[in-house]
Amino acid sequence: MSALSDDLELVKVTKRYGATVAVDAVNHHFKPNSYTCLLGPSGCGKSSTLRMMAGHESISDGSILLGGKDISHLPPAKRGTAMMFQNYALFPHLSVAENVAFSLKMKGIDPGERAKKAGEMLELVDLSALADRLPDQLSGGQQQRVALARALITRPQALLLDEPLSALDPFLRIRMRSELKKLQRELGISFLHVTHGQDEALALADEIVVMNNAVIEQAGPAREVFNAPKTAFVAQFMGGHNVIALADGKYALRSDAVRLTDVGSGKMDAHITAVEYQGTHVSVLARIAGDQEVTALLPDDVFFAKPRNPGEPIGLLWDQENLHTLTM
């Protein structure tokens, strides 16, 4: 498989359900061999986009290319993609090994070959010891690995994952996300992961594609999307930012880039409305002109070196380079 063969591209991809436009002429080139998170609030069109790529949903307009080939109208099994579902969709009456080998059975591959391939996949996800169990004899995390092995046995060029961690408890979610990332690196194929959690996207993604209202608002390396949001929506959705309207425009300013100083000696004056202790940090909420609120997130030692109280007037300070112009 050449490095370019798993280039996945959306060209003016549109999905309409009756009068609802769920995905509106979306263009995007996914980087090969990389981990991409499709991030956005519920209803923005993420799952529809993923399902169209997988072939589980018809495409209303536009095309989907994989390795330069138009796969828009191919059946799911012929696309070179594989999908892992949120609820894992395991067959309850089949053993772990039989679940993993299922698609090979459908293809008419003989039992010996199926068992061998399923064994390799179970080894990959560290489940060899549980090959003969039924799905309901597994933990949530183990079921997820079975679903992964089952998707990967088809040797896809791109693995599509729809909210793959949402059924897990918070502890397991964090463990499984590092396993997903490791697997993507080992296999060297593209993973495309739909999530509504910005922390999950930041932890996993080489590239984050932020969707809102059926379109892509911003796409780029995780750090770039977080550090330099282009729109108020992206700044607010990624979190950790203030969105403020100044005399010459609207800006995003990271909360941890705001410092406190004495009134009259900062970039603007404010008065404190709330102070919240958060362990490693203290969050200070301050009201500025125009009835806008700004959050300053201070390391706890910095705050407690000079504690402040609600009602106090203060100055707010930041470095100009931390102010990012928003286009809307």
Q: How far is the CB of 239 from ligand ADP (least distance, A)?
A: 18
Token pair of 78 as six digits: 């012929």
- Kindly indicate which of the ranges 14-22, 105-113, 120-128, 287-295 contains the residues binding ligand ADP, using the contact rule CB under 6 A: 14-22
Q: How far is the CB of 72 from ligand ADP (least distance, A)?
A: 17
Interface with ligand ADP, residue 44, by CB under 6 A? yes
Spell out the alpha helix ranges (H) of 153-252.
170-187, 198-204, 222-227, 232-238
Q: How far is the CB of 57 from ligand ADP (least distance, A)?
A: 8
Q: How far is the CB of 184 from ligand ADP (least distance, A)?
A: 21
Q: How far is the CB of 32 from ligand ADP (least distance, A)?
A: 24
Phi and psi, residue 298, nearest 5°: -110, 140
| 250 neighbors 232 (Cβ within 8 angstroms) | yes
CB nearer to ligand ADP: pick between 160 and 258: 160
| 318 neighbors 259 (Cβ within 8 angstroms) | yes
Instruction: For the beta carbon of residue 277, count every other beta carbon within 10 angstroms.
Output: 11
Q: Tell which one of 28, 43, 94, 323 touches ligand ADP (CB under 6 A).
A: 43
Task: Tell me whether residue 276 is exposed, middle or buried, using C-beta atoms within 10 angstroms of its C-beta: 0 to 12, 13 to 18, 19 or more.
Answer: exposed
Question: Rounded to an integer, what is the distance from CA 149 to the centroid of its chain?
Answer: 21
Binding mask 192-231 for ligand ADP (x = CB under 6 A): ----------------------------------------
- The whole-angstrom separation of Cα 160 and Cα 84 is 6
Strand 35-39 and strand 207-212: the pairing is parallel
CB nearer to ligand ADP: pick between 2 and 42: 42
Task: Tell me whether residue 68 is exposed, middle or buried, using C-beta atoms within 10 angstroms of its C-beta: 0 to 12, 13 to 18, 19 or more.
Answer: exposed
Interface with ligand ADP, residue 46, by CB under 6 A? yes
Interface with ligand ADP, residue 17, by CB under 6 A? yes
From 118, 116, 200, select the one nearest 191 (Cα to Cα): 200
Interface with ligand ADP, residue 67, by CB under 6 A? no
Q: Tell which one of 14, 33, 36, 47 touches ligand ADP (CB under 6 A).
A: 47
Interface with ligand ADP, residue 164, by CB under 6 A? no
CB nearer to ligand ADP: pick between 127 and 209: 209
> Site residues (CB under 6 A) for ligand ADP?
17, 20, 22, 40, 42-48
